[in-house]
């Protein structure tokens, strides 16, 4: 495999990059200037000068585990602005110039471990700037997998995870969700590899021969997006169509299972459009990544990234697919301007996901998810310290929200509004909301102003009934919260009660159970169990040997709480195979809480598993273990 040095990149940058032509009439999204829209996680000063478009010419180097190339940025500057400030994280900056090749003075400021360092560039009137650069091998957004860590075992693999502020480790731009940018890319990879990105793929899966060797592929995103949604993956990838607007990219051995699991995606797109307006992104393709991917899914436009842990053969986890699709409206179309308002992405999406599931599978299936979400919300509030804990607010400091409260409290808030006004008023309002703010950033204050103008309309009784400010700005769960109860889960609860009363584990009937029923049972078992009782549960229900990653995680969490030694070998195998944060971090946290018994186990397993984790997961586990 070819190593392209920074010196070679310098030579390559002397010639015009083979970038896509970008019309100056491309969409330019607004930047909010209200005080609550100030993003404390960026060095950018967009009111003075901002990026409107990013054009990337990239070389993927598996030997050095780096991405290098040229970033050409379109700049919109206020009158009199002399400089622009970008976000970087451990990037090697070689040359900064204007589009004619005239060098521009620049400086990299002091670095912060979380935020990285500002790159300040003197504009000298330039409207386009070109940056020759290279990422570092440990770039926070990127994971480089060896062939042994992939399913095919033939080629290495690369993928990125940009949310929330990781993309500054491989792209020099203004890395803030409130500064939306169109973008394009030309990516060169070694022969035999296929790159995919969160944009329209222009050359198909074969690309074109590159002058320096390998093959080049072009991508284009004409809609302005928050920069965390620029994503890439490179590997031994194959494609199979699911429907006229959708298909799956995956390693060959995973492809058919993924296509089967995602078979309902076209119906989901239709249901989503019927609810809240047109799908505005063209295609909805999906990429199944190796197990180290740190999330269930990532809503990258045109190409949602998925963990293989949701592929269980029974389509019981298609709520994750519905969730990522719903982000095409809430999150991708209308985006939180800062990470203090992450609930505007996740709460809206969790609510929308539930409506898609109801449209396809009926009210009871949707009720299962709503019931579980409500219980999860109460659990997160309790774990955060109760109703007075600041971390239980929807609008708070960036990254402050406890557990999954952005998702669970946010969706419960919207469901409470739905029940208060009825769907005949709520659905047209929400569809209009997405239309009014399409391809724009949003804040909590902006949403509340919109709902007061277009739904409440001065109705004082309705204003009091909804408790809007209480939901958004105050901690805890307001008194008007709507809880939906599931008959299916009520039957699980009855069996759980019988077991807790001393009944045999063999009497628990799990016939036709799906993930959600298993989770309801295991998550609600009393945390203190005898070794004999745990052994009985495992023998009757086959928990340790389950092929469902969700079930195993919940079971291991219970076993750890009771220092149940027989699961340790299976736990170690699981933690070295699965890298999804939602499933692995509770287990490390549980081991840490067990002190002298559990902490050495956690440290030993983490040392072994760490090379296979994405940097996001490594960071999360490191914070838990203090290692």
Active-site position among 299, 324, 353, 358: 324
What CA–CA distance (Å, rounded) separates 536 from 254?
Answer: 34
Yes or no: is domain 487-625 CATH 1.25.40.320? Answer: yes
Please give the pLDDT value at position 140: 96
Please give the pLDDT value at position 627: 67
Helix (H, G, I), strand (E, B) or coil at 391: helix
What CA–CA distance (Å, rounded) separates 13 from 102?
Answer: 12
Residue 419, number of CB atoms within 10 A of its CB: 14
Is 407 marked active-site? yes
Give the CA count within 13 Å in the CB-facing half-sphere of 122.
7
The enclosing H or E element of 429 equals helix 423-436
CATH topology of domain 6-236: Immunoglobulin-like (2.60.40)
Answer whether 326's CB lies under 8 Å from 344's CB.
no
The enclosing H or E element of 273 equals helix 265-276
329-485 homologous superfamily: Neutral Protease Domain 2 (1.10.390.10)
Helix (H, G, I), strand (E, B) or coil at 43: coil
What CA–CA distance (Å, rounded) separates 147 from 483?
Answer: 47
Please give the pLDDT value at position 204: 86
Question: ∠ CA 212-249-1 to the nearest 5 degrees?
Answer: 25
What CA–CA distance (Å, rounded) separates 357 from 361?
Answer: 6
What CA–CA distance (Å, rounded) separates 154 from 149?
Answer: 10
Is 295 marked active-site? no
What sign has the CA pseudo-torsion 184, 189, 192, 196? Answer: negative
Active-site position among 133, 228, 276, 407: 407
Segments of the chain with pLDDT less than 70: 1-26, 627
Question: ∠ CA 426-429-432 to the nearest 5 degrees?
Answer: 150
**Tally of residues, the chain:** 627
Nearest Cα to 221, choosing from 395, 413, 55, 398?
A: 55
Helix (H, G, I), strand (E, B) or coil at 546: coil
Give the bridge partners for 389, in sequence order: none
- Residue spans of the domains in the chain: they are 6-236, 329-485, 487-625
Give the bridge partners for 303, in sequence order: 285
**DSSP secondary structure, 586-618, as one string:** HHHHHHHHTHHHHHHHHHHHHHHHGGGS-HHHH
Give the bridge partners for 77, in sequence order: 49
Give the bridge partners for 56, in sequence order: 71, 185
Backbone phi, then psi, for 234, in 5-degree steps? -140, 130
CA 252 → CA 248, 258, 290, distances in Å? 11, 10, 12
DSSP state of 453: I
Please give the pLDDT value at position 205: 85
Please give the pLDDT value at position 495: 97
Please state whether the predicted TM-score (pTM) of the whole model is above 0.85. yes
What CA–CA distance (Å, rounded) separates 60 from 524?
Answer: 47
């Amino acid at each position: 495999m070819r190593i392209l040095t920074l010196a070679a990149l310098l030579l390559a940058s002397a010639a015009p990059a083979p970038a896509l032509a970008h019309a100056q009439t491309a969409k330019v999204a607004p930047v909010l200037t209200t005080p609550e829209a100030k993003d404390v996680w960026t060095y950018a000063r967009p009111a003075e000068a901002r990026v409107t478009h990013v054009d990337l010419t990239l070389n993927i180097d598996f030997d050095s585990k780096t991405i290098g190339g040229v970033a050409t940025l379109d700049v919109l500057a206020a009158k009199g602005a002399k400089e622009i400030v970008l976000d970087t994280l451990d990037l090697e900056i070689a040359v900064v110039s204007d589009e004619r090749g005239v060098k521009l003075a620049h400086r990299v400021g002091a670095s912060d471990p979380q935020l990285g360092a500002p790159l300040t560039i003197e504009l000298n009137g330039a409207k386009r700037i070109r940056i020759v650069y290279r990422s570092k091998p440990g770039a926070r957004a990127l994971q480089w997998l060896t062939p042994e860590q992939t399913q095919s075992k033939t080629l290495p693999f690369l993928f990125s995870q940009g949310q929330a502020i990781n993309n500054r480790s491989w792209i020099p731009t203004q890395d803030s969700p409130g500064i939306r940018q169109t973008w394009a890319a030309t990516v060169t990879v070694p022969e035999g590899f296929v790159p995919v990105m969160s944009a329209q793929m222009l050359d198909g899966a074969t690309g074109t021969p590159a002058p320096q060797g390998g093959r080049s592929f072009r991508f284009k995103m004409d809609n302005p997006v928050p920069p965390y949604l620029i994503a890439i993956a490179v590997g031994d990838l194959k494609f199979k169509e699911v429907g006229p607007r959708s298909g799956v990219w995956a390693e060959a051995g995973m492809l058919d299972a993924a296509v089967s699991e995602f078979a309902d995606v076209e119906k989901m797109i239709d249901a989503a459009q019927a609810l809240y307006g047109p799908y505005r992104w063209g295609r909805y393709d999906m990429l199944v990544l190796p197990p180290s991917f740190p999330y269930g899914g990532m809503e990258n436009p045109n190409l949602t990234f998925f963990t293989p842990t949701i592929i269980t053969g029974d389509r019981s986890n298609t709520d994750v697919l519905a969730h990522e699709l719903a982000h095409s409206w809430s999150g991708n179309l209308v985006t939180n301007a800062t990470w203090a308002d992450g609930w505007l992405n996740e709460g809206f999406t969790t609510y929308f996901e539930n409506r898609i599931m109801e449209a396809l599978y009926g009210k009871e299936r949707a009720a299962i998810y709503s019931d579980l979400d409500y219980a999860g919300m109460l659990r997160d509030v309790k774990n955060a310290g109760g109703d007075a804990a600041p971390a239980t607010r929807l609008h708070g400091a960036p990254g402050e929200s406890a557990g999954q409260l952005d998702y669970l409290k946010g969706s419960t808030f919207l469901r409470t509004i739905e029940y208060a006004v009825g769907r005949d008023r709520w659905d047209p309002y929400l569809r209009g909301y997405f239309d009014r703010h399409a391809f724009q950033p949003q804040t909590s204050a902006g949403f509340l102003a919109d709902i007061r103008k277009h739904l409440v309309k001065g109705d004082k009784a309705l204003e009091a009934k909804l408790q809007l400010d209480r939901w958004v700005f105050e901690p805890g769960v307001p008194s008007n919260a709507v809880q939906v109860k599931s008959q299916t889960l009520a039957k699980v609860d009855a069996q759980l009660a019988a077991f807790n009363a001393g009944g045999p584990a063999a009497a628990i009937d799990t016939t036709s159970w799906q993930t959600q029923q298993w989770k309801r049972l295991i998550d609600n078992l009393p945390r203190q169990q005898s070794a004999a009782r745990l052994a009985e549960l495992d023998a009757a229900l086959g928990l340790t040997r389950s092929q469902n990653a969700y079930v195993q995680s919940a079971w291991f969490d219970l076993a750890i709480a009771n220092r149940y030694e027989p699961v340790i070998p299976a736990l170690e195998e699981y933690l070295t195979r699965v890298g999804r944060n939602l499933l692995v971090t509770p287990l490390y946290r549980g081991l840490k809480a067990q002190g002298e018994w559990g902490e050495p186990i956690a440290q030993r397993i983490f040392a072994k598993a760490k090379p296979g984790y994405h940097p996001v997961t490594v960071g999360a586990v490191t914070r838990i273990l203090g290692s």
